Amino acid sequence: MSASVKSLLSTLTARGPHQVLRGNLGIAGQPGVVYTPAKGTNLPAVAFGHGWLTGAGNYRRLLEHVASWGFVAAAPDTERGPIPSHLNLATDLLTTLDICAGVRLGTGEISVHPDKLALAGHGMGAGAAVIAASQREVAAVAALYPAPTTPSGEALAPGIDAPALILAGASDIDSVSSNAIPLASAWGGTAVLRSVDRASHNGMVEGRRALAALGAGKHEPKTERLTRALLVGFLNYAVLGDKKYKAFADPEVLIPNTQVVDPDAVEEEPAEPQKLPLLQLVQALRK
């Protein structure tokens, strides 16, 4: 592990150099929010999909952080109910990218380059980002603690050439609520799968969640901060081509508080009978 990687990670954990503006995607017909640097032309943009029973507001700090590093970060605020449509959320992510690339933002002085677009998401939003990436070519995909979706991300992944960052919580990477391993194994382009030490798949969610009453969705500040840094580092290299950040897209490089996982080296053991988590139960009822 090089000192430069540690230094970069520390730098990316802190807020970036740009002042951030907040806007409403609803003005362009898509419910959601957009965060932008205060000024800039031909900027990169990332559309972010929220997790199950959350909304764009649960990722405010993440979106602001990404924008502070020079990206337009936008998130649709749809499919927030207990029985969401993953396909509809994927469509909203693509609509969000179209708005970012086709509309002058801010006071009209902020623009996005059409070839510098990325998709990202958390949980089911990560799966929706994968679905969207199978329908449109983008520069990069970031699946943060992905959860199973309908259709399944791993079924679509072989047809996606964009580089991918896939993160999973070390405590639940092998659980039925995570499809990080099969998603990384099936990915058509280059994919880096990292497990985050002492993290769970819900740890990056900010604020109150509907699942809090059921004992789920506990916020983990360290997980949130590390996830933001890993995401920005990956986007800087995969979307902007900044070689200084190559380590964040390199499966051979060790990054503090994470472990590189080879998805094809993981041995599957016979699963013991267990109760389906609420998300899988709802999905089963939909079929």
Per-residue pLDDT at 208: 61
Mean pLDDT across the chain, nearest whole number? 90
Per DSSP, the residues of 41-78 read: EEEEEEEEE--TT--GGGGHHHHHHHHHTT-EEEEE--
Per-residue pLDDT at 270: 45
57 within 8 A of 48, measured Cβ to Cβ: no
Of 37-46, 138-147, 203-212, 252-261, which gets the smallest average pLDDT? Answer: 203-212
What are the C-alpha distances in Å from 132 to residues 91, 203, 205? 7, 24, 22
Of 70-79, 99-108, 140-149, which gets the smallest average pLDDT? Answer: 99-108
233-286: per-residue pLDDT in tens?
999 999 999 999 999 999 999 999 999 999 998 555 544 444 445 555 455 444
| Residue 228: pLDDT over 50 | yes
165-193: per-residue pLDDT in tens?
999 999 889 899 999 999 999 999 999 99
Compute how many other C-beta atoms are within 10 angstroms of the C-beta atom of residue 257. 18
* Higher local confidence (pLDDT), 50 or 280: 50
Residues in CB range of 132: below 8 A, 6 or more apart = 47, 49, 90, 91, 93, 94, 119, 138
If pLDDT is split at 50, 70 and 90, which confidence band does 38 have? very high
Q: Give the span between the Cα atoms of 181 and 261, in whole angstroms.
A: 8
Whether this model's pTM surpasses 0.95: no
| Residue 40: pLDDT over 50 | yes
Per-residue pLDDT at 284: 43
Domain ranges of the chain: 5-285
* CA atoms within 13 Å, Cβ hemisphere of 148: 16
Residues in CB range of 197: below 8 A, 6 or more apart = 170, 257, 258, 259
| Residue 42: pLDDT over 60 | yes
What are the C-alpha distances in Å from 137 to residues 58, 175, 243, 248? 27, 30, 22, 21
Q: In this structure, which topology does domain 5-285 adopt according to CATH?
A: Rossmann fold (3.40.50)
Beta strands in the chain (DSSP E): 20-24, 32-37, 40-49, 72-76, 110-122, 140-144, 164-169, 191-196, 258-260
Average pLDDT over residues 5-32: 95
Which of left, alpha, beta for 45 (phi over 0: left; psi -120 to 50: alpha)? Answer: beta
